[in-house]
Amino acid sequence: MFGLETKAQEWHRDLTTLCAFFLSSAVFRRCGLAILKRSLHIALAVLLIFSYSTTAQQQTQDVPSAKTIIAHRGASAYAPENTLPAFRLAFEMGADFIEYDVQVTKDKQLVILHDQTLERTTNVEEIFPARSRIAAGDKSEKKHWYVYDFTLAEIKKLDAGSWAGAKFRGTSVPTFRETLDFARGRAGHLIELKVPDEYNARGVDMERLTLAELKRYYRATPKSQKGSPIIIQSFSARSLQKIAAELKSPLPLHLLTTADDKPGWLTREGLAKVKSFCVGISPHRESVIRNPDIITWAHELGLQVTPYTFTTIKSQEPQLLRAEMLRFLYTLKADGVITDNPDLAVEARTKSVSVFIAPSPSSR
């Protein structure tokens, strides 16, 4: 999907050229026999070593296609979701991208949090006991602590780590800016805009705020895209269309689709519409299980496919999850997987080298 570089092949080609040049050069011809023999031995040994490593790389290239591993809310099976420790662990485990969710605070700052409410993943009840409320139209009549009722300074007082284990105590809710800077050069960003339609309805232009922050990020580090490509995704097609058509952003966009695929994007016709404003889709894995043709149809249109969410959190056994990701990536030919367990996805990808080294090259 996002390409594997064959550095070993480049090195091998360069070294071979260098040796060939040296062996045939006038300088070399003037040397004595002893130097000639020794040089030939050294050159041969170096070439053998590089040929061996290149063969290993070549085999990796024989795998049907490069696959992208996206750490969902960071390595969230092992660290508190959407926090810097979860992102750091994802980098360490070899994830290519981190996925995370953007919300907007009362003072219009972008923060990384999945829920619109703070109580599941922070100690907000303890720090701000009197700040919960029942949202207008909420039939459950339950009180919640809403992100958009709190300023960034208030949210920064919260502990977003303890709920996932004592060792994460003191972890804060990161801002979008902190996250962009933290992952620079270490992984790509799959940025999910959460409920942009609701924010828009409250007069908050979440898309514009996000693009402005990205502009600052690119200006600060013009080369940052190299190590950290950016993709924006959302369940809201309207929001993505706004980013593409109204805000004229050239950034790649992915449409997220729900398990029941409402309003029905995952047909040939639906996907053709998606293609007009997106470069990819992130379907729920159950949609793909129900109809694996989705991936073929999307590929025929040139759309990338990165299904979600592969996880051990809902008690899936690690080895079963690894096997499932292997199947999605290499049998169903998804371009990547969005997973809480990037380590298992990396293992699946590594395992695929032995499973899929086959003489017949595949188109994908």
* 282 touching ligand G3P, by CB under 6 A: yes
Residue 192 or 207 with smaller CB distance to Ca ion:
192
Q: Which does 261 bind (CB under 5 to 8 A by kind): ligand G3P, Ca ion, none?
A: none
Annotated catalytic, 189?
Answer: no
**Among 192, 335, 343, 347, interactor with Ca ion by CB under 5 A:** 192
How many Å separate Cα 253 from the centre of its chain? 13
Nearer to ligand G3P, 209 or 232 (CB): 232
Kindly state the number of chain residues that form the binding site for Ca ion, as judged by CB under 5 A: 2
For the CB of residue 56, give the shortest distance to Ca ion in the complex, in Å: 35
CB of 114 to ligand G3P, least distance (A): 6
Q: Compose the 19-58 pattern: x for residues touching ligand G3P by CB under 6 A, - for all others.
A: ----------------------------------------
Among 199, 308, 310, 356, binds ligand G3P (CB under 6 A): 308
Report, in Å, the least distance between residue 303 CB and ligand G3P: 16
Rounded-to-integer distance, Cα 42 and Cα 40, Å? 6
**189 near ligand G3P, judged by CB under 6 A:** no
State the binding partner of 338 from Ca ion, ligand G3P, none, CB within 5 to 8 A by kind.
ligand G3P
Exactly one of 84, 240, 256, 274 binds ligand G3P (CB under 6 A); which one?
Answer: 256
Give the separation between CA 117 and CA 228, rounded to whole angstroms.
Answer: 29
* Binding residues among 81-110 for Ca ion as defined by CB under 5 A: 101
101 counts as binding ligand G3P under rule CB under 6 A: yes
Please indicate whether residue 114 is annotated as part of the active site.
Answer: yes
Give the dihedral sign, CA 18/20/26/30.
Answer: positive
Residues that bind ligand G3P (CB under 6 A): 72, 99, 101, 114, 192, 256, 282, 308-309, 338
Residues with active-site annotation: 72, 114
